[in-house]
Amino acid sequence: MIEIGKRAKAAARAMAAASTGVKDEALAGIARALKENADDILDANTADLERGEAGGVARALLDRLMLTPERIDSIAGAVRDVIALRDPVGEVIGGRKRPNGLDITEVRVPLGVVGIIYEARPNVTVDAAALCIKSGNACILRGSRTAIESNTVLARLIRGALADAGLPGDAVQLVEDTSRESVGELMKMRGTVDVLIPRGGAELIRSVVEGSSVPVIETGVGNCHVYVDAAADVSKAIPIVINAKTHRPSVCNAAESLLVHRAIADDVMPKIIEELSARGVEIRGDEATRSYSDAVVPATEEDYRTEFLDLTISAKIVGTLDEAIEHVNTHGTLHTEAIVTEDYSAAQRFAAEVDAACVMINASTRFADGGEFGLGAEIGISTQKLHARGPFALEALTTSKYVVRGSGQVRE
């Protein structure tokens, strides 16, 4: 791990000085390599899936792990999207001319060496590498044992594309040691690693936040809510709830909890229950929700706090907008919350008072994504409030420095 850190530090210096054209050339090479080597990637991924199934890996995790030709195309497309983004490095954020003649500018610069600890999502290997390359950073990737075969092939292709473009392959390094010890060492590499980003379940994130001496940017779990307000348009509400829960239930921006205002519950709740049940969703609800269908099972307090990552949703009837906001702020994870309403003031209050990185008004929670926001790929959704919040994309991988130009001034 020490040697990996040294190589990453040296590579970070070269990446910080790399031109946009060279970085984009490397990214184009990555996108081509993914397409040209899709069979090798799928073979490695099949080995991971077979090992995961034999080891009893949960269905939701297997879905995150699985690659298909379509998903590889999508990953390559995300890399091409990053090429199209403006290079943030060197951008002048602000400036001023002082009375003494000093010219002061604040410019964007790379973070340096970014460590990323993540679970069984091989797409993160490519997304994270692409974003770090474009933003002039080096990255150390520590994926999970579950995806090691897929990640190894992907890292090899990425490093080859870097070398072909004349950039150091060590700008992207995969930690092939999947033991807990390697994570512990990475968390203690302060001075070599500039920032650490955990992406995964609540336990992984908590252990990194609590155990790291390296500064951590937290990408949180997603106990996301959809609140159907008294003034909701039913024709919008039902598709939004269904999409938010069932489009891809294993990801962090899927809805995990449904709140419905009592005034509209008779109109909308039976239809939502019918649609969700038809798609195999288990609904865990309060007494008022259960009154609409025997298919609804009793919800516990823990259910309202759970990120299911599966075809399960908690549900509750609320009497007021205030009750909905209080429930979201009590049980949510600061990720993404949605309101369905035609009442402008209710929408504004929800957006202002709900504590979350992303708030959706009359739209599915599934749009909480860097690509959908036009930011290119993302490393995750940052749920913290310092440095960056929301989709952790290109600009979030930079910081700033002040450059002061003088003509011989000294301070008196």
DSSP 277-335: HHTT-EEEE-HHHHTT-TTPEEPPTTGGG----SSEEEEEEESSHHHHHHHHHHH--SS
- Write down the pLDDT at residue 292: 97
Q: Which residue has the higher pLDDT, 60 or 42?
A: 42
- Write down the pLDDT at residue 88: 96
H and E: helices and strands count for the chain: 14, 16
Banded pLDDT at 79 (limits 50, 70, 90): very high
Q: List the beta bridge partners of residue 98.
A: none
- Write down the pLDDT at residue 384: 86
Banded pLDDT at 403 (limits 50, 70, 90): very high
pLDDT tens digits, one per residue of 309-331: 999 999 999 999 999 999 999 99
Mean pLDDT for the stretch of residues 345-354: 98
Give the pairing of strands 224-228 and 255-261. parallel
Mean pLDDT for the stretch of residues 363-388: 87
- Kindly tell me if the per-residue pLDDT of 376 is higher than 80: no
What share of the chain in percent tops pLDDT 70?
Answer: 100
Q: Which of 10-19, 68-77, 92-101, 374-383 has the lowest mean pLDDT?
A: 374-383
- Kindly tell me if the per-residue pLDDT of 367 is higher than 80: yes
CA distance 177 to 142: 8
Rounded to 10 deg, the angle between the 180-187 and 202-211 helix axes is: 40
- Write down the pLDDT at residue 275: 97
The residues, any chain, with a CB within 8 Å of residue 317's CB and separated by 6 or more, are 259, 260, 261, 262, 265, 269, 286, 288, 289
CA distance 344 to 38: 48
- Write down the pLDDT at residue 370: 85
- Kindly tell me if the per-residue pLDDT of 219 is higher than 90: no
- Kindly tell me if the per-residue pLDDT of 182 is higher than 90: yes
pLDDT tens digits, one per residue of 267-303: 999 999 999 999 999 999 999 999 999 999 999 999 9
Mean pLDDT for the stretch of residues 150-161: 98
- Write down the pLDDT at residue 344: 98
Banded pLDDT at 387 (limits 50, 70, 90): confident
- Kindly tell me if the per-residue pLDDT of 392 is higher than 80: yes
Banded pLDDT at 61 (limits 50, 70, 90): confident
- Edge-to-edge, what's the strand order for the sheet holding 92-97? 92-97, 103-110, 398-405
Residue 181 CB coordination number (10 Å): 10
Average pLDDT, the chain: 95
The residues, any chain, with a CB within 8 Å of residue 302's CB and separated by 6 or more, are none
Which residue is it, tokens 């599934």?
Answer: 366
Banded pLDDT at 249 (limits 50, 70, 90): very high
- Write down the pLDDT at residue 385: 86
Q: Which of 23-27, 50-54, 59-63, 74-78 has the lowest mean pLDDT?
A: 59-63
- Write down the pLDDT at residue 375: 82
CA distance 154 to 172: 11
Banded pLDDT at 20 (limits 50, 70, 90): very high
